[in-house]
Amino acid sequence: MAEVRFSDGASYDLMMGPWSRSVGELFLDWLDPAADLDWIDVGCGSGAFTSLVVETCAPASVLGVDPSHAQLDFARGRGLPPLARFEPGDATSLPVADRTFDIAVAALVVHFMPDPAAGVREMARATKPGGLVAAYSWDLLGGGFPYDDLYSRMASSGYPPPAPPSPAAADPRELRQTWELAGLADIRQRALTVTRQFVDFDDYWRTAVTSPRIAAALQRVPEALMAILRAEVEAAVPRRPDGAVVPKATANAIVGRA
Ligand SMILES: C[S@@+](CC[C@H](N)C(=O)[O-])C[C@H]1O[C@@H](n2cnc3c(N)ncnc32)[C@H](O)[C@@H]1O
């Protein structure tokens, strides 16, 4: 399986930032966390979710952890207040002591963990007894990825973008099993569906191909097939009468108590 790298915070933020923000808002509404909590944001990436937590949850502190130094640089450049810190680290060996945080969240990350069970066990280890371990991930197998119209046609043309290591981990039943195996209690789940508006199809396409992994996969598509692929995606994306392209995406969310 090809490795999926997140090496450019700016292009990731353009392609995924608004999706990440709107699904993050829905998730936080549902979670309804108390103020003054110590948070760990596992796989914080460019800091899109971290900044939502800072803006809307009145946290005591937030530690964002991610293996990508480029993403962390972008997150640090957001100018968040000092209560938000960013450190390099991997979900499967978090650089923190046991029982440190009131809440551990992995926003759009569980399917990127090579071993989701180990990652969620680590999140539980880092959380104080009674604290929350929560996540949401795009429903990849259920067609919930924001650019699924493009992804599915690239796959059927024989040029799929590299898949994340654990796409099945985002399935609601898999999530439940992972949370149960990590010893988490009072588990709650829900699906979160969001929409993003692109001015027109060109805007959608340009935005999608800022993703280095979509761009790399498309570079291998022969020119004649590329025109067909683009036309198929254009015919498939949902539109409004004014030409705006308005695709939907769905993430599966879960929370349990340590
Ligand atoms: C889709 S992005 C999500 C970023 C951010 N949480 C958000 O909501 O926008 C996935 C992130 O997971 C990170 N990631 C990949 N493998 C990881 C691992 N083993 N442990 C922690 N983070 C990982 C990537 O570097 C990337 O920043």
What tokens does 135 get?
């996540």
Q: What pLDDT does residue 1 have?
A: 34
Class of domain 9-144+163-197+245-257: alpha beta
pTM of the model: 0.93
Tens digits of residue pLDDT in 136-165 = 999 999 999 999 999 999 999 999 888 899
Q: For residues 23 and 251, is the Cβ–Cβ distance under 8 A?
A: yes
| Residue of higher predicted confidence among 243 and 13 | 243
Measured by CA distance, the residue closest to atom 14 of ligand 1 is: 43
Please, what is the average pLDDT of the chain? 94
Task: Say whether pLDDT at 4 is over 50.
Answer: no
Q: What are the φ and ψ backbone dihedral angles of 31, each rounded to 5 degrees?
A: -70, -35
- Is 90 exceeded by the pLDDT of residue 13? no
* Res. 23 pLDDT band, cuts 50 70 90: very high
Q: Which atom of ligand 1 is nearest to the CA of 4?
A: 15
How remote is the CA of residue 91 from the centroid of ligand 1, in Å? Answer: 9
Q: How far apart are CA 155 and CA 217, in angstroms?
A: 10
Quick one: pLDDT at residue 65?
98
Tokens of 235: 């015919």
Higher pLDDT, 47 or 4: 47
For range 41-66, the mean pLDDT: 96
Q: For residue 9, what are the β-bridge partners?
A: none
Q: Sorting pLDDT into bands at 50, 70 and 90, what band is 6?
A: low
Q: Is the CB of 47 under 6 A from ligand 1?
A: no
Helix or strand holding residue 132 (H, E): strand 127-138
Of 6, 7, 72, the residue with max ligand 1 atoms within 8 A of its CB, to mutate for a pocket test, comes to 6
| Of 22, 53, 93, 109, best ligand 1 pocket probe by most atoms within 8 Å of the beta carbon | 109
Backbone angles phi, psi at 39, to 5 degrees: -110, 150
Long-range contacts formed by 73-79: CB under 8 A, 24+ apart: 73/9, 74/9, 74/10, 74/12, 74/13, 74/46, 74/47, 75/9, 75/44, 75/45, 75/46, 75/47, 75/50, 76/47, 77/9, 78/47, 78/51
- State the Cα–Cα distance between residues 181 and 150, nearest whole angstrom: 35
pLDDT in tens, 188-227: 999 999 999 999 999 999 999 888 888 888 999 999 999 9
- Which residue owns the Cα nearest ligand 1 atom 12? 43
H/E element, 253: strand 248-257
Q: Is the CB of 91 under 6 A from ligand 1?
A: yes
Contact 105, 40 (CB under 8 A): yes
Domain positions in the chain are: 9-144+163-197+245-257
